[in-house]
Amino acid sequence: MKALVTEEDLEAINTLARSELTEEQIYTFAVRLCDNEVDRDFERFPRASLEALAKLFVGKSGIFDHVWSAQGQAARLYKTEVVEEPGQTTGAGDPACWLKGYAYMVRTEANQDLIAEIEGGIKKEISVGCAVNRSTCSICGSIAGSCGHRRGQTYDGRLCFFNLEEPSDAYEWSFVAVPAQRKAGVVKTMKQPAQTERIRRAKARLELERARF
């Protein structure tokens, strides 16, 4: 699950770090933060909300069980992107997509067990903490709670859920036991063979040297 660290990744990470970090000093991994499917709480993020959250979550901390404590800060997001799932649709009927976050940790003796648990698939499920400006009813479009429709209930064959719209802030993302979003969690990342990456970096250095003369 460890992601390949590119020069662009290191640059993004070092904009957040106080001192220059090297590839050997960090551990990186990718997470599925949230998607546009209806979750266990009968809420969902429309795509526009995921795109707004992508900007808000850069730089945010990864903690545990949404406990806001500096002692629990374990990782930090250095970039995000909205990923499409071709050919798949949500329960709401729109194209499926999700918000992917790229996180880093500084390798220390204290977090070696956590890294091992992430790699072993023990620490996996993820939940996000954020704020939205409004929530609307999927049945009538009214502000959630202002109509007679109740989320989780079915009306004329249509499931009622709330659309979480206009995100205003992203607080944190947490390792949890049971996330509201069923698929949220650490995702596997394809690794390039070490030899391929060394060749790529050698070519990049060669191009840089050529540009100097």
What is this structure's pTM? 0.85
Assigned token pair, 113: 């067990």
Residue 5 has what pLDDT? 85
Handedness of CA 15, 21, 24, 26 (dihedral sign): negative
Q: Which of 20-24, 154-158, 189-193 has the lowest mean pLDDT?
A: 189-193
Q: How many CB atoms lie within 10 A of CB 167?
A: 21
In sequence order, the β-bridge partners of residue 163 are 44, 136
pLDDT grade for 88, boundaries at 50, 70 and 90: very high
Residue 80 has what pLDDT? 98
d(CA 23, CA 10): 7
d(CA 126, CA 144): 25
Q: What is the pLDDT of residues 165-201, one digit of tens each?
A: 999 999 999 999 999 999 999 998 655 444 445 555 6
